[in-house]
Amino acid sequence: MDSIGVLNGLVSAFAIGILAANIASYLKLRQLPGALVIALWSVFLVLLLVEMWAATVKSFTREAREVSSPSLLTFMLLPVAVTVMAALLAPEGPTRADTEKDPYGAFTAQRYFFFGILLALPVVSIGQEALSGAVTVDWDLGFRLLVAAGSICGLLIRGRRADTVLVVAMMVVIVSYIFVVFPELAVSI
């Protein structure tokens, strides 16, 4: 499992690099309408990775157990998905000039992919647990359902103000989850 953890960390680090560049780019473009919303979505993705690390540490500080292939795939899904979503937010590529003129328009053009991937994360996670018979009604399930609901809202709503409210609400959900999970961690370094 150690090599899988290293691979997960490397993919996560790659995503963090993309997200840091995104945040910096959009802060430079902050005078343009919608740039702040996209910078906030990048911060949300960083928080999502932090949440994943907290959940992973919590999971692996329990007694040693065998990990199934579906669990490993689910474990690797989040950093790969965040990397793809970070790339969707990136102000680069063939449409960079258009993105620099209208960053929110570029985000809107990618919103179905962005929110579709975000929705897939809790759905796949809950589905994997349901198939293995390990679904428990707890804070973790509640937070994943909130992320799914926020993703559906993102697929349905339009407008910078609505997106700003949604990203702030999603950040509150993730930060709340982190504060629920971290106090339970018993990690010795």
What would the pLDDT profile of 3-19 be if each residue is shown by its tens digit?
Answer: 666 666 777 777 777 77
User: Domain residue spans in the chain?
Assistant: 2-184
pTM for the full model? Answer: 0.80
| Tokens coding 108 | 């809107």
Residue of 61, 69, 82, 70 lying closest to 12 (CA atoms): 82
Torsion sign over Cα 120, 26, 92, 103: positive
- pLDDT tens figures, 45-98: 888 888 877 766 666 655 455 566 666 677 778 888 888 888 888 766 444 555
User: Angle formed by the axes of helices 35-60 and 103-132, to 10°?
Assistant: 20
CA-to-CA distance for 41 and 174, rounded, in angstroms? 12
Q: Which amino acid is at 80?
A: V
Q: Does the pLDDT of residue 187 top 50, yes or no? A: no
Structure tokens at 89: 């937010």
Cβ atoms of 147 and 118 closer than 8 Å: yes
Handedness of CA 139, 145, 151, 153 (dihedral sign): negative
